[in-house]
Chain A
Amino acid sequence: DAKTTQPNSMESNEEEPVHLPCNHSTISGTDYIHWYRQLPSQGPEYVIHGLTSNVNNRMASLAIAEDRKSSTLILHRATLRDAAVYYCTTKKSSGDKLTFGTGTRLAVRP
C-alpha cells in the first residue's frame, strides 16, 4: 500500500478556501486516491476520490498532480462544521483496503 504524508495540522478562517496537501510518492498507476474526514466523536466520512483527473463534488474538489505523487483537497469556503481530521488514503483498483495515516487536523476560525 502506498504511504501517504500529510501535515499534522492546519488552520483556516471561516468562508476562506482551504488547500489540504497530501504526498503519495509511492502510488502505483492503478491506485485510487481517496479522502475521508472525521468529525469529533464520529466515524470517518467519505469526501471525494480520483484516479488521474481533477474531481469536483458538492463537498470539495480534488486536484491531482500530473505525476500523481501528490494531491490537494480543496474546500472552497470553509465553515465551522468543516473542522475535522482529514485523511488522504490510496486504494488499489482491485481491492477495498484503505490504509489511513494520521491525517491533518483542520481548525476553522470564526
Chain B
Amino acid sequence: EAGVAQSPRYKIIEKRQSVAFWCNPISGHATLYWYQQILGQGPKLLIQFQNNGVVDDSQLPKDRFSAERLKGVDSTLKIQPAKLEDSAVYLCASSLVDRGKTQYFGPGTRLLVL
C-alpha cells in the first residue's frame, strides 16, 4: 500500500514570496491533516479535512495560510506572503474514519524562508 505522498520535499523562498505544498493521502482515507513542525517542537495541527469539508482550522493563520481539498482526495496548502517564522516542516497525514483513527504521516516538506 502506498503511503502519504508530499511534494516538494524541500523549498527555499524569500520572505513575502508565496509557496504551495501538495499532498496525496492514502487511497480511501477520508480524513486529511496538515501539520506545521518547527525545529525542536512537536507537530502542530493547522487544518483537518473530512472528505472536502473543513473540520478544524482553528490554528490556521488565515491571513496568510490557505488550504483546499478539491474532490476529497489531494490537498494543497499555500502560504502567501511567507514570513521568516514560517520556516518549518509541513507534514500531511491521513486517516480512515474509524474508531482507531490512526494517522499516517507523509515525509513532510521542509520550508526555509530567507
Contact with A along B80-114 (1 / 0, CB 8 A): 00000000000101010001111111111000000
Q: What residues of chain A have their CB less than 8 Å away from a CB belonging to chain B? A: 36, 41-46, 49, 87, 91, 93, 96-103
Q: What residues of chain B have their CB less than 8 Å away from a CB belonging to chain A? A: 4, 31, 33, 40-45, 48, 55-56, 91, 93, 95, 99-108
Pick the residue among A49, A87, A97, A102 that contacts B102 (CB under 8 A). A49
Given contacts A43-B107, A44-B93, 17 further A-B contacts (CB under 8 A): A36-B103, A42-B108, A43-B4, A43-B93, A43-B106, A44-B91, A45-B105, A46-B103, A49-B102, A87-B42, A96-B31, A98-B103, A99-B45, A101-B42, A102-B40, A102-B41, A103-B42
Contacts of A98 in B (CB 8 A): 45, 103
Main secondary structure of the interface of A (DSSP, over half): loop
A96 and B68 alpha carbons, distance in the complex (Å): 19
Pick the residue among B42, B100, B107 that contacts A100 (CB under 8 A). B42
Closest to B43 in A: A100
Is A102's CB under 8 angstroms from B42's CB? yes
A68 and B71 alpha carbons, distance in the complex (Å): 41
Closest to B95 in A: A96
Contacts of B100 in A (CB 8 A): 49
Closest to B108 in A: A43
A43 and B45 alpha carbons, distance in the complex (Å): 13
A91 and B93 alpha carbons, distance in the complex (Å): 16
